[in-house]
Structure 1
Amino acid sequence: MDLSVVICTYNGAGRIGQVLDGVRSQVHTESITWEVLVIDNNSQDHTKQVVEAYPKVRYVFEAQQGTAFARSRAVKEAQGQWIAFIDDDTVPDENWVAQAYQFTQTHPEIGAFGGQIHPEYEVEPPSGIGKIAPYLAIVERGSKPHRYDRVLPPGAGLVVRRQVWLDHMPEKLVLVGRTTATMLASEDIEAILHIQNSGHEIWYNPEMHLYHQIPKWRTEKSYLLKLIKGVGLARHQIRMTRWQAWQRPLITPIYLLNDLRKLMTHWVKFGRSQNLEVVCEQQLLLSSLVSPFYLRRLNLKE
């Protein structure tokens, strides 16, 4: 099979129907062999009933909480040579599948690629949301395809070569995704880094368009601070994944000192400003600083 479209969801009964409608409405797919697979990541609502109302959609239940576990299960279950991940709140453009498949044909040697993700806010977002948008998985990087280097695409809209994932992904990632127990984020970036570290390129395909449905509560200051805190607390693991094991003890103090310098500079410059962009940046810097200690304590508990 050419392509498996995978939607990982948790309590997505109120959202996933719109996504499945978008998938069902794809055009120019006559020459593509593809499937649709929903991984229900331990939902407690009626997600299963909503999904089963759609013919030709395969439903799989994954009880272990965390997006990383859902994606790992999807790779095992999928039949496609390429796996295209869509979040349960990202609606695909009608050409999304066709454009994803086309890119696999013109770039068959790469490991993974992502496209554009545009916001569709329920209400007008607050001032200063622009620089925070990447944390909401908004990706708009122009009209030309290019290879990613340091900045990587989010898991929403990621298309990955299945065999590359099977060959190079650890049995268990350190970051498993946000759960009821932890708010740690960036599990998708950790996975993509393992693909990149294996020597396979990660690309940007501007012809793939997703539309991220963002409700009012996800633009509120309290949620954004919690979201960015999770990104910061995961930062040490993301950084260390880029380095060899023997290099990590040497590079960690450098990161710590640099994070402390950045945080102190930011506080001196902005003080106790309540500007949304400022407080989010301070939260990211503070969480990044404590990230090594937080992750170590988390690992000791486990």
Structure 2
Amino acid sequence: MIKLISVIISTYNPNQEKLDLTIKHLEEQSLSKDCWELIIVDNNSSKDVKINCSPALSYQLIKEFKQGLTHARLAGIRAAKGELVVLVDDDNLLMPDYLENAASFFSANLNLGAAGGKILPAFDNEPEAWLADFYELLAIRNLGDEVMLARWDNTYPKVSPVGAGMVLRMNALTDYLNKEHLILDRTGNTLSSGGDNDIVIEVLKAGWEVGYFPSLELKHLIPPSRTTFKYISKLTKESSKSWVVLLLSHHICPWKKIPRYTLPIRKIKAWFAYKAWSNKTNYIKWKGACGTFDGLAT
């Protein structure tokens, strides 16, 4: 049985209303508060982070001065005392049974190293229709209602959890914690990513299973600023580059590296191949291709 879960919220200049909601949903967890701890990591915010919660909820607030989500998560994990770690962003609303379900799944499957579930969007405003093609970039995922598990086979499994709500067995993190970390995640206002994928790969390579459990459900609060054409275009390009760099670092990249001097002509050819001028979706996909080229030229 899992005796203690460590919930880690990493935050940087948070929206106070969304952070308050994130904590409120943790307060409403069905799992007894004696069975989990809350660690909040302030990732060098420009002003003090204010924590609003009931007196019944105790928490530990630590500050990580090294900028970047990876640094913040590492600080939280190293401060954690639980057998399980749950990574929560400061705009994630966990359903009331989230922690209880996590404890149950990991108690029943002793080879389970990492897990996630459904991440449903909660938009402040109704987004334009084209955004649906890029939900995955916004950590929105719904793989259905069946439990799915995967092991390492030198490829990245589709069922792998993403950072929002990711549940990790502490014993599965030994190799990840002891490695030299490739910092791909967001630092300040950059939109690079991949730190959560790096965790999953290290867990898999260490011999653990990863899984998708649909009853691990949370809502992701998404403001209008993250649904704009400009934002998604930039996010797509930077995420694509980060993904390639990550795959190269683990020697599982399916594409060959390319000379940097070929970048301009490749991007021009891709502009026409994707018909990037024709609509927003095609333009964003072209930006993703440009990011991939940039990654392969590193």
TM range (shorter): 0.7 to 0.9
For residue 114 of structure 2, what is the aligned residue in structure 1? 112
Of 115, 122, 125, the match for 1:123? 125
Alpha-carbon shift at residue 52 of structure 1 (Å):
7.4
Q: Deviations over 1:216-256 (max 9, x none)?
A: 11000111111112111212222224427xxx7x9634899
Q: Report 1:16-165 matches (<5 A).
A: 16-27=19-30, 29-30=31-32, 33-47=35-49, 49-50=50-51, 55-148=57-150, 149-151=156-158, 152-165=160-173
CA, structure 1 residues 203+44, in 2 after alignment: closer, same or farther (shift >3 Å)?
same
TM-score (norm 1): 0.85
Secondary structure of 2:217's match?
strand
Distance in structure 2 (CA, Å) of the matches to 1:163 and 1:104: 12
Q: Deviations over 1:187-213 (max 9, x none)?
A: 211221111122211110110111000
Alpha-carbon shift at residue 183 of structure 1 (Å):
3.2
Matched, 1:184 2:187: no
The question of whether the paired residues in 1 share the 8 Å contact of 2:176 and 2:202 is answered with yes
The question of whether the paired residues in 2 share the 8 Å contact of 1:194 and 1:241 is answered with no
Alpha-carbon shift at residue 80 of structure 1 (Å):
0.3
The question of whether the paired residues in 2 share the 8 Å contact of 1:6 and 1:39 is answered with yes
Matched, 1:278 2:282: yes
Distance in structure 2 (CA, Å) of the matches to 1:114 and 1:76: 21
Q: Which has more helix, going by share of residues?
A: 1
TM-score (norm 2): 0.86
Alignment root-mean-square deviation, CA: 2.8
Distance in structure 1 (CA, Å) of the matches to 2:162 and 2:265: 28
Alpha-carbon shift at residue 269 of structure 1 (Å):
4.4
The question of whether the paired residues in 1 share the 8 Å contact of 2:274 and 2:283 is answered with no
* Identical-residue share of aligned pairs (%): 23
CA, structure 1 residues 206+272, in 2 after alignment: closer, same or farther (shift >3 Å)?
closer
Distance in structure 2 (CA, Å) of the matches to 1:145 and 1:272: 38
Matched, 1:221 2:221: no
The question of whether the paired residues in 1 share the 8 Å contact of 2:23 and 2:53 is answered with no
Distance in structure 1 (CA, Å) of the matches to 2:264 and 2:100: 47
Q: Which amino acid aligns with 2:22?
A: V
The question of whether the paired residues in 1 share the 8 Å contact of 2:89 and 2:165 is answered with yes
Q: Which amino acid aligns with 2:283?
A: V
Alpha-carbon shift at residue 36 of structure 1 (Å):
1.1
CA, structure 1 residues 51+64, in 2 after alignment: closer, same or farther (shift >3 Å)?
farther
Secondary structure of 2:226's match?
helix
Alpha-carbon shift at residue 50 of structure 1 (Å):
2.3
Alpha-carbon shift at residue 117 of structure 1 (Å):
0.4
CA, structure 1 residues 290+128, in 2 after alignment: closer, same or farther (shift >3 Å)?
same
Matched, 1:211 2:203: no
Matched, 1:231 2:200: no
Alpha-carbon shift at residue 266 of structure 1 (Å):
5.2
Q: Deviations over 1:53-108 (max 9, x none)?
A: 76401111111111111111111100100101111001111111111111111222
For residue 153 of structure 2, what is the aligned residue in structure 1? none
How many pairs align?
286
Gaps of 5+ in 2: 151-155
CA, structure 1 residues 101+108, in 2 after alignment: closer, same or farther (shift >3 Å)?
same
Q: Which amino acid aligns with 1:24?
A: E
Secondary structure of 2:81's match?
coil
The question of whether the paired residues in 2 share the 8 Å contact of 1:19 and 1:92 is answered with yes
Alpha-carbon shift at residue 262 of structure 1 (Å):
9.4
Secondary structure of 1:113's match?
strand
The question of whether the paired residues in 2 share the 8 Å contact of 1:110 and 1:201 is answered with yes
